Structure 1
Amino acid sequence: MSSALVTLFVSSPDTRSERRYDLQLAVSQLKEKLELVTGIPVGNQHLAIYNDDADLQPVKVLDDDQRPLGFYGPTDFQVLKVVDINPSTSFTGQLTDLSEIEKFELSDEQYALRQDSVLAYKQRHKVGRFADKTEPTPAPVVTVDIPIGSRCEVESTEPGLNKRGAVRYVGPTDFGSAGGVWVGIEYDEPMGKNDGTVEGKRYFTCAPKFGVFVRPDRVRVGDYPVEELFEDEEM
């Protein structure tokens, strides 16, 4: 009949590994195997089982070398911590202690002079902040031949509706994310959206609801007479 096995995470100051052990294994025999894994001599080992690495209190302390491992009831994937109770006689902890290692340090000036550094590579290949600066392409100047004061008609999406008026402003504005030129129109009738003022800035003056701003391609300049809104109705 095969012996039962348990899978444990073995943790020591310098190592961490996953191991499977026979539950019939005596603690003294277990320590011999752990010496090969952790480098901690058998006589220096203190063994305890924890549910998790972060736990401060052990579930069991393996304090009897003659007892089998199964006596302490370990379960799969618990943590078996191996503590070196006399580290002065072994190398325990020296693999992770960096306090005695001499550090190689360079000043910023010394680092800048090196030719084998990341900084030098970026400078040679013009990467990141060392890339060539490209001048922004200036926006093309748009010429709009729409004289101020001229009569006009604004394109409408409503069939039979003629939005006529006079040109009061042509040029750039502070509103509109696309920029470019806008045409300010004073309608003959109150079909607009403002009085020539948008977002607190005045571009021209007219009565409320008679002013509007449109793009130049929606404006047709010509001899457009003033149309009365009710001129076709019987009096």
Structure 2
Amino acid sequence: MGDIQVLTSDFVNLQISTSKNDISFGERRFPKDITISELKAKLELVTGGSCATMRIETYTKDNKLVTSLDDNSALVGSYPLEDGMRLHIVDDFQLRNELDSGNVPKFELTEEEYSKRNDSVKMFLMKNKMGKYNEEYAEKKKQMEQEEKKLAESIEAGLRCKVSVANAPSRLGTVMYSGTVEGLQGYWIGVKYDEPLGKHNGTVKGKTYFECPDKYGAFVKPQCVSVGDFPEEDYDLNEEL
């Protein structure tokens, strides 16, 4: 009997979520022969987080923590990652900036002073040619932004749609908005769901992008949206049992 050889795919399909859990980035395909450092650079393109300050946690389909991808020099394929699992991105730098410091005076630097510091995130990225200081990254980011913009522009307000996001069943709704959202990177689709499965009423951080009942609205990436003939179902939420 000959030797038994087990073959695995060179790629893995993973869902992506961030510490801002009201945003869904859908599924992405990653090669297993890249390092965790290179994976972080790719995730920076997708999420807008900083590859220098992000941590990556992995979860099963039923949301059980598997491990943390904490060795930047290790290959993606060296970790127990399977199709359908979720990468959860935590940006420590962003989380520190979002903490409420109350009346504690904030330490602020001018752009010129910040540029002179050797211990800054900016200097780390420049020295290691990461993020926007990497020419290949910058070109790839530009291409992705152009593709996302083109896709967003093809999804017009008023169209019926189906939304498929990470760790959630498909949801039906109506496109209400297509464009940019203040404070978020890239292009987004504002959707009014047929059921109260959203996050808001079309207003985010005091700015109104569209109007709908509370908990019916959501913003998702264009890649998560399919438009078509999706008839609205009759949900009688007030029906008594």
Please indicate the TM-score interval, normalised by the length of the shorter structure: 0.3 to 0.5
Whose helix fraction is larger, Structure 1's or Structure 2's?
2
* CA radius of gyration, larger in: 1
Greater RCO between the two (CA within 8 Å, min separation 6)? 2
> How high is the TM-score relative to the length of structure 1?
0.37
TM-score (norm 2): 0.36
